[in-house]
Amino acid sequence: MDKVQSALEKKWDDLLNNLQRKMPSHSYTSWVLPLNIVDCNDFSIRISAPSRFHSEYIEMHFKDLIRSGVRDIFGKDLTLQIITDQNTRKTEILESGSSHISDRILQKEEHAEKENFQQTYYVEDRYSQLNSRYTFETFVEGPHNQFAKVASRAVSEAPGNTAFNPLLIYGGTGLGKTHLLQAIGHYARMQNPNRRVIYVSSEKFMIDFITAIRNNRLNEFGNLYRKADLLLVDDIQFLESREGTQEQFFHTFNDLYQRGKQIVITSDRTPKELKGVEERLISRFLSGLTVDIQPPDFESRIAILQKKATIDQLTIPPEVIEFVAQNITTNVRELEGAMTRIFAYSSLAHTDVTINLAKKVIKDMLGVRKTRHISIDIIQAAVSEFYKVTENELMSKGRKKEVALARQVIMFLSREISGMSLKTIGLRLGRRDHTTVMHACNVIGRKIRENKSFAKEIDAIKHQIDLASS
């Protein structure tokens, strides 16, 4: 037993080292270092935080990063559970009042914990808790997500009564899939408060299934999910290689679908790219409508930051918004996180929000990535060299396959790296209009997601651009 514990502690140390390399030192010291590993099995890993606030903050800001570290160190995806350290909790309670009152509080909490499983299967609202910020009104629409929003709105207005059943929304991390999923739930319940909406992550579905087996409550488990009018399942990719859970989800899916109930699913990739998921499930995912969300373009990133400022009642100088939008291009979560950090730093340091402050915060976030302006000339030179095409060919109206591809890649990278407007990029590449540039960005973005070898080509070009601009 000591050897097992020692091996687990060694892996925990490796995980901490892994996370330390990926995070700013202040974030690692403040939030990750106080965590402790509780236990680990073939399905999940449990980590304790010193307080409920701490565990909620980790869930909100660092869960994906920790899960990625777990995958690196343990060699597979494990369900991550973050709990509050009960010893710390007992100390807090004991220090708060007299001993007999403290004992009663602790007994009550322990009893509640034991009863938690029963409550899970009888309190439906436990599975309908939606984030109040995730509505259609707070969702910023742009070319990168327009179709996904339109489809989501249609489903929310008539769950189960459209051709979009199931609706599957896929895209990279932090692009707004969860936002749309919960917005569907909010709107559907607003239209009909009696509608049974169940929102759950695939991890939670799996944990419930395992718990139901352990406690001989499979009937209650099945009944809970199968009485939904609208089932919203986040991150379906975590069902990969979970055969028993897939079997249960398959039967739940079939039962709801046959009774005309609406199912909406999110994934970080297309159904066909889900490895270790049964073919019969894949075919059902593909039987409805599949829509993607792409990374936001420059104008959309600005609109997202402006919307966040309005919601949070913050005043942000336009030049700061533009700077953040130019330098954070990967996803919406990172974009909003950058603005949150800027304001947190401003508040703690008692300084105004300025472009210099933004540069400092962004530099800390990006680490070795430099906050610099990269011209279209540098991008064009790198792409021309990679595809062996000349500047004259790029500026011409020629439609040779390799020239057309190089031209589209330049448009895409100019948009992603430099944040130039569609109009500016079009003018620089033979006076092409903005719709041509937008089409090129969409084509290349889709090709990167669907073709791994092409994605490596783009990474190689980006590397050359980095070397040329350093």
Q: Are 145 and 175 in contact (CB under 8 A)?
A: yes
> What are the helix (H) ranges across 75-164?
86-94, 99-122, 146-157
Does residue 206 register a pLDDT over 70? yes
Does residue 231 register a pLDDT over 90? yes
Q: Is the previous residue joined to 166 through a cis bond, with omega within 30 degrees of 0?
A: yes
CATH topology of domain 2-96: GMP Synthetase; Chain A, domain 3 (3.30.300)
CA torsion angle 40 46 47 53 (round to 10): 180
Does residue 180 register a pLDDT over 90? yes
Q: Are 323 and 361 in contact (CB under 8 A)?
A: no
Q: What per-residue confidence (pLDDT) applies to 448?
A: 87
Q: What residue spans define the domains of the chain?
A: 2-96, 146-293, 298-366, 376-469
Distance (Å, whole) CA 363 – CA 43: 37
Does residue 33 register a pLDDT over 80? yes
How confident is the model over 165-188, as a mean pLDDT? 91
Ranking 120-129, 186-195, 377-386 by mean pLDDT, the lowest is 120-129
Share of the chain above pLDDT 90, in %: 17
Does residue 36 register a pLDDT over 60? yes
pLDDT band at 119 (very low <50, low <70, confident <90, very high): very low
Distance (Å, whole) CA 230 – CA 247: 20
How confident is the model over 452-460, as a mean pLDDT? 86
How confident is the model over 266-275, as a mean pLDDT? 88
Q: What per-residue confidence (pLDDT) applies to 87?
A: 52
Distance (Å, whole) CA 183 – CA 53: 25
Q: What are the tokens at 402? A: 């390799």
Give whichever of 90-99, 195-204, 359-368 has the largest mean pLDDT: 195-204
- 376-469 shares the fold of 298-366: no
CATH of the structural domain 298-366, one choice from 1.10.8.60, 3.30.450.20, 1.20.1250.20, 1.10.287.70: 1.10.8.60
pLDDT band at 102 (very low <50, low <70, confident <90, very high): very low
Residue 300 vs residue 116, higher pLDDT = 300
Distance (Å, whole) CA 7 – CA 355: 48
Q: Does domain 146-293 have CATH number 3.40.50.300?
A: yes
Residue 93 vs residue 73, higher pLDDT = 73
Quote helix, strand, coil % in the chain, to nearest 5: 65, 10, 25
Distance (Å, whole) CA 167 – CA 149: 11
Does residue 421 register a pLDDT over 80? no
CATH of the structural domain 376-469, one choice from 3.20.20.410, 1.10.1750.10, 1.10.1740.10, 3.30.70.2740: 1.10.1750.10
Q: Are 411 and 430 in contact (CB under 8 A)?
A: no
Q: What per-residue confidence (pLDDT) applies to 168?
A: 95
